Amino acid sequence: MGNKLKFTVPSEIDSIKALTFLKQKCGLSSRMITRLKREKDGILMNGKILRTVDYLTGGDTVEINLPDEKSSILPVCGSLDTAYEDEHLIIVNKPPSMPVHPVKQHQSDTLANILTYNSMQKGESYVFRAVNRLDKDTSGLVIIAKDKFTANFLKNKVDKTYFALCHGRLEGEGTVDGRIGLQDGSKIVRAVRADGMPSVTHYKSIVCTEDISYVALKLETGRTHQIRCHMSSIRHPLLGDDLYGGGLDIIKRQALHCGELSFLHPVTGKIIEVKAELPDDMQVILDKIKGLK
């Protein structure tokens, strides 16, 4: 079997149907419950087989034994900057210029390839499930769930803070509320347009000069290229983001970094907070503009 999850029924509960507890308290889907029922010792209560029609009381322990999964991704030796790891998930600080997933042009030089190799070295085997995704040239924290339960639990439940260097003086804080859709005639570039998907970005300036601003950003939505598109729409494109109007004279990739993550752990219930320092190419620029203040 794969990962084991353990949940204790709160003492204040006198009686609750097992199916209700598994869905509401353990976060299992009907499909996952059905699959676990077919597995030997898939769902146990106090060490004995638990049926979905059974009832639980306060203090009972429910153990869920998730089935093993095998990755189909090619393992490739490489180094990982691991910011956090436990038996349910791993958080990696991804460098710029590295894709997260294998694609046609990148079959063996992705985060998924390297993580698969490293997990095999530790005797682990799991499907690569990135909870949050970053563009190839965006650096920062990526959460990879080690099982389907953790991936489903964390979906749309992670608070992320990005840090960016953008053109021009941007002071104070504000919100960009602009619908995003594909730009006419392009299959890649996004634009703010009336018929786009609802998209909201909050920004706060940290340091700024007349030419460059260092800002923190939080997203209410997760559209493709959202930060890059929104910052360009308010005439403050990211440095290095020539796709959205940024210049390449200072840095050769979009100056964007996912630097902070926080979320409720799906099993322990504890708040997990993880930070990653700026990569060198962004830090050098930030130090220079701080010196101009």
Is residue 68 within 8 Å of residue 74, measured between CB atoms?
no
- Which of the following is catalytic: 14, 41, 86, 135? 135
- Report the DSSP beta bridge partners of residue 208: 213
Token couple for 98: 């590295």
Using CB atoms within 10 Å of the CB of residue 267, give its burial: 0 to 12 exposed, 13 to 18 middle, 19+ buried: buried
State yes or no: is 147 an active-site residue.
no
3-state secondary structure the chain: CCCEEEEECCCCCCCEEHHHHHHHCCCCCHHHHHHHHHCCCCEEECCEECCCCCEECCCCEEEEECCCCCCCCCCCCCCCCEEEECCCEEEEEECCCCCCCCECCECCCCHHHHHHHHHHHCCCCCCCEECCCCCCCCEEEEEEECCHHHHHHHCCCCEEEEEEEEECCCCCEEEEECCEEECCCCCCCEEECCCCECCEEEEEEEEECCCEEEEEEEECCCCCCHHHHHHHHCCCCECCCHHHCCCCCCCCCCCEEEEEEEEECCCCCCEEEEECCCCHHHHHHHHHHHHCC
Distance CA 26, CA 20 (A): 9
**Residues taking part in catalysis:** 135
